[in-house]
Amino acid sequence: MQLAEDISKGILGAGRASDPCVMVIFGASGDLTKRKLIPALYNLAKDNLLSKDFALVGFARNELSSEQFRDEIGKEIGEFATTTIDPELWSWFSSRIYYLSGDFSAPSAYQELVELLAKIDKEHGTRGNYFYYLATAPSFFGPIVTQLGAAGLVSEDHCWRRVIIEKPFGHDYESAIALNKEIRKVLEEKQIYRIDHYLGKETVQNILVFRFANGIFEPIWNRRYIDHVQITVAETVGVEQRGTYYEKAGTLRDMVPNHIFQLISLTAMEPPVSFDADVVRDEQAKILKALSPMTDEEVLTRTVRGQYGEGAEGAHRVPGYRSEPYVAADSRTETFVAMKLFIDNWRWADVPFYLRTGKRLPQRSTRIVIQFKRAPFVLFRKTAVDKLEPNRLILHLQPDEGIKLSFGAKIPGPVVQIGEVNMNFNYTDYFNATPQTGYERLLYDCMLGDATLFQRSDMVETAWHVVAPILDVWEALPPRRFPNYAAGSWGPHEADEMLTKDHRHWSND
Ligand code: BG6
């Protein structure tokens, strides 16, 4: 009962405007601000979900005045907005944008910030409520929080103060623990919002609604009926201009302990008793804790890494990873990962979760495939059990958002033959929602103080703990033949073999 109420109120959105507040973006000159954050705030304003007493401060090293920053953003909003810009609303919004240039580690810059925020509080009635969005290089996360603390900018006295931290949160288990320790010297856990943009996606949020607002799936959502689960996050793009970051990160760090583990935990978690932030996150954390870290031997047999070589994207030839900008000519960084994981609990014991993700694959597609067990016994003449396709439920998260259920049906005719057919639901056929950036919900929730869709410290640390043995073994045993897949293919053949050995195959359709 409580859950149903929470779903109708919480998950679908309560719809009240956020509290009066100021958002300070550190690293405001970067792409994220103009491409996502400003368009998302504009969409919230358009939907009356942003307080009338809202203001924004961009903070970065570039020397700019507030007017110049406003002008720049104003010129670009047309390109990045997901909706047509209403000049009146934009003029209201842009009159609340400020800019401060400064060095992230200089205490004097934070004194200027204190003064600017006090002035904004007076002019815009923002009541001392501030949230800081750290869209900087990760090496600044700790120092910025420390400086905010020293300047008294995170103390909550009749107001709230929150910090949103972008990924990557640490680059391994130890550094994630160290970063948590560093920021916890200044902030309480409830002030920290570790963001994972996958949780801002409608279709990712819909996993919970699909599972827990419908009665028919939960009884079969377990090892008794499910043969295995596949999670694919495939991208057609290469590393683009992000070689410097990617060379250090690689696909495993970039995608697995964050985005993909979010998808696993939402797919596999037990029903929470409410949608309170900690109740939901407790259930997610239990799944992460049940993902037992692999032994060295298991890393060798249950993981596959790859790097793209030259190939094609559609009709165009594209270079291999080693020829991309800012990438070493003999790079050993992986651009593809596949692995088999198990969740050690009663619901999922022995059910493999196969994951794969990579750059320069043939389609952009993020999907979760739930493959059910085959029918145990076939009554139909001349139909072998192994010829029957098992039922598959596919949650397409992007780009074609929808849900598909496949099942066997009789092909019309005097001879009994069974074919596979699909029941399809496409979001676009049913809901006429304005396109969003994916950051609206996350910013809105932070302004309301709802951390459900953000990562708690234990979740981040546990996720790194699970991938730690893989990082260690891969580092100790460098890949022998990189590049090992052509751009535009589905990754190294070992990824297919991993499933073939288990008498299964990836679902690519
Ligand atoms: C980012 C990764 O977090 O997610 C990128 O750093 C990746 O490498 C991106 O391309 C994928 O996000 P989306 O929303 O396009 O699936």
CA 233 to ligand 1 centroid distance, Å: 9
Q: Is the pLDDT of residue 8 over 50?
A: no
Res. 411 pLDDT band, cuts 50 70 90: confident
| pLDDT at residue 370 in the model | 98
Res. 383 pLDDT band, cuts 50 70 90: low
CB 140 within 8 A of CB 25: no
Residue of minimum CA distance from atom 9 in ligand 1: 255
| pLDDT at residue 3 in the model | 45
Looking at ligand 1, which atom is closest to the CA of residue 235?
10
Looking at ligand 1, which atom is closest to the CA of residue 254?
6
User: Does the annotation mark 259 as catalytic?
Assistant: yes
Between CA 25 and CA 264 the distance in angstroms is: 30
From the list 166, 145, 59, 164, the residue with the least C-alpha distance to 109 is 59
Res. 388 pLDDT band, cuts 50 70 90: confident
Residue of minimum CA distance from atom 5 in ligand 1: 254
Percent pLDDT > 90 in the chain is 86
CA 444 to ligand 1 centroid distance, Å: 21
Residue of minimum CA distance from atom 10 in ligand 1: 235
Helices (H), 219-345: 243-255, 261-268, 277-290, 296-302
CA 263 to ligand 1 centroid distance, Å: 14
Q: Is 166 near ligand 1, meaning CB less than 6 Å away?
A: no
| pLDDT at residue 6 in the model | 46
Q: What is the pLDDT of residues 83-106, one digit of tens each?
A: 999 999 999 999 999 999 999 999
Q: Is the pLDDT of residue 69 over 50?
A: yes
Res. 420 pLDDT band, cuts 50 70 90: confident
Q: Is the pLDDT of residue 12 over 70?
A: no
| pLDDT at residue 120 in the model | 98
Looking at ligand 1, which atom is closest to the CA of residue 233?
16
CA 96 to ligand 1 centroid distance, Å: 30
**377 or 441, greater pLDDT:** 441
Strand locations in 188-281 (E): 192-194, 226-234
| pLDDT at residue 7 in the model | 40
Parallel, antiparallel, or unpaired: how do β-strands 485-486 and 308-309 relate?
A: parallel
| Mutation pick for ligand 1 pocket among 241, 259, 397 (CB with most ligand atoms within 8 Å) | 259
Res. 430 pLDDT band, cuts 50 70 90: confident
Q: Is the pLDDT of residue 2 over 70?
A: no
Q: Tokens 């950036």 sit at which residue?
A: 437
Q: What is the pLDDT of residues 487-500, one digit of tens each?
A: 999 999 999 999 99
Q: Is 254 near ligand 1, meaning CB less than 6 Å away?
A: yes
| pLDDT at residue 410 in the model | 83
| pLDDT at residue 376 in the model | 77
* Cis, bond preceding 399 (omega within 30 deg of 0): yes
Percent pLDDT > 70 in the chain is 95
- Crossing angle of helices 202-212 and 261-268, in 10° steps, is 20
| pLDDT at residue 386 in the model | 60
**383 or 444, greater pLDDT:** 444
Q: Is the pLDDT of residue 384 over 70?
A: no
From the list 47, 159, 6, 177, the residue with the least C-alpha distance to 440 is 47
CA 198 to ligand 1 centroid distance, Å: 9
Q: What is the pLDDT of residues 260-286, one digit of tens each?
A: 999 999 999 999 999 899 999 999 999
Looking at ligand 1, which atom is closest to the CA of residue 242?
8
Q: What is the pLDDT of residues 457-494, one digit of tens each?
A: 999 999 999 999 999 999 999 999 999 999 999 999 99
CA 254 to ligand 1 centroid distance, Å: 8
Q: Is 235 near ligand 1, meaning CB less than 6 Å away?
A: yes
Q: Note if the pTM is more than 0.85.
A: yes
| Mutation pick for ligand 1 pocket among 254, 321, 333, 436 (CB with most ligand atoms within 8 Å) | 254
| pLDDT at residue 382 in the model | 65
| pLDDT at residue 414 in the model | 83
Res. 10 pLDDT band, cuts 50 70 90: very low
Q: What is the pLDDT of residues 179-222, one digit of tens each?
A: 999 999 999 999 999 999 999 998 999 999 999 999 999 999 99
Residue of minimum CA distance from atom 6 in ligand 1: 254
Mean local confidence (pLDDT), 36-62: 97
Mean pLDDT of all residues belonging to the chain? 93
Parallel, antiparallel, or unpaired: how do β-strands 226-234 and 353-358 relate?
A: parallel
291 DSSP 8-state letter: B
Between CA 43 and CA 37 the distance in angstroms is: 10
Least reliable range by pLDDT among 29-33, 141-145, 373-377, 405-409: 373-377
Residue of minimum CA distance from atom 14 in ligand 1: 198
Res. 380 pLDDT band, cuts 50 70 90: low
Mean local confidence (pLDDT), 23-28: 98
- Transcribe 351-408 into DSSP letters: --EEEEEESS-SS-EEEEEEEEPPPSS--STT--GGGSPPPEEEEEEESS-EEEEEEE
Q: Is 298 near ligand 1, meaning CB less than 6 Å away?
A: no
Q: Is 121 near ligand 1, meaning CB less than 6 Å away?
A: no
Q: Tokens 């999907």 sit at which residue?
A: 367
Tokens of residue 130, six digits:
């501030």
CA 204 to ligand 1 centroid distance, Å: 14
- Report how far apart the first and last C-alpha atoms of the chain are (Å, whole number): 38
| pLDDT at residue 189 in the model | 97
From 124, 259, 396, 465, active-site residue: 259
CA 367 to ligand 1 centroid distance, Å: 14
| pLDDT at residue 5 in the model | 45
- Transcribe 63-125 into DSSP letters: ---HHHHHHHHHHHHHHH-SSPPPHHHHHHHHTTEEEEE--TT-HHHHHHHHHHHHHHHHHH-
Looking at ligand 1, which atom is closest to the CA of residue 246?
8
SS3 content of the chain, % helix, strand, coil (to 5): 40, 20, 40
From the list 186, 208, 169, the residue with the least C-alpha distance to 458 is 169
Q: Is 196 near ligand 1, meaning CB less than 6 Å away?
A: no
Between CA 458 and CA 235 the distance in angstroms is: 29
Between CA 262 and CA 331 the distance in angstroms is: 29
CB 153 within 8 A of CB 184: no
